Amino acid sequence: MSLLNDKERYRASRLVRLDDRRAYVAAHTLKRLVLAAVTRLGPHSLEFYDDAYGKPHLDGQKGVYFNLSHTHGMVAFAYSRVIDVGVDIEFLGPEIYDRAMAAMTLTPDEILSVERAADPHRAFLLYWTAKEAAMKAEGKGMSMPMRDIHIFNDTADTHSKHWSVWHYLPSGQHILAFARRTMTGEEPAYSALPCLVMEEAVLWECADAFSAPR
């Protein structure tokens, strides 16, 4: 964990499962390496702070927007120099569709769409990741109930903003959603918005290379 600061090391140590600790270390190592390249600062020197909603920011740097997500076997990191972005990645796994969870997070129309799908669990995760990515991009945390975010085609609508959402399948067992604010037509075109995904084998190698807890 040589690149991580005391706060990140503490959070890693609080994770019970070894795989979760290794994933956390790899994810935050990737975050530091990418942002060091973007800002041309040393990865050790980067300092972060959380705003009132818990969204992390890079201290002392304006115009650097980023978001991080990790799950079983994979990590995703997105950043931009022009606009807020959000990313969420989830592991499909052996789980089955959870009606109670759907009732808490989806609108009635979305539930109907999920339950008509050939694979309801996968359909649910497509909605879930889209909403999570939009929530993380907007940065309001749990103050924004997921049921209040409406997904239609490739957009996510909150109370105040519209987000464009893209889905990717980085593996047969993972679903990723990337969100950024929808362009109005009155703004300059956005520059490239990279979204990096680390596969399981590379994730473990990264964790080992930077002394992940064993």
Mean pLDDT, the chain, whole residue set: 84
Q: What is the pLDDT of residue 122?
A: 95
**Residue written as tokens 């040393």?**
42
Crossing angle of the two packed helices 120-138 and 108-116, in degrees rounded to 10: 140
Question: What are 76's strand-pairing partners?
Answer: 69, 197
- Identify the band that residue 25 occupies on the pLDDT scale cut at 50, 70 and 90: confident
Q: Where are the domains of the chain?
A: 1-63+198-214, 83-190
Close Cβ partners of 56 (under 8 Å, ≥ 6 residues apart): 48, 49, 50, 66, 68
Q: What is the pTM of this model?
A: 0.86
% the chain with pLDDT above 70 = 85
- Give the per-residue pLDDT at 160: 75
Residue 46 contacts by C-beta under 8 Å, 6 or more apart in sequence?
A: 32, 35, 36, 39, 58, 59
Distance CA 21, CA 38 (A): 26
Asked whether the beta carbons of 86 and 179 are under 8 A apart, the reply is: yes
Token pair 């050790």 is found at: 44
Angle, vertex CA 198, rays to CA 195 and CA 199, nearest 5: 135
For residue range 46-70, list pLDDT tens digits in order. 999 888 888 889 998 888 899 999 8
**Does residue 212 surpass a pLDDT of 50?**
no
Query: What pLDDT was estimated at residue 108?
Result: 95
pLDDT for 213: 40
What class is the 83-190 domain? alpha beta
Phi, psi of 12 (to 5 degrees): -65, -40
115-137 per-position pLDDT tens digit:
999 999 999 999 999 999 999 99
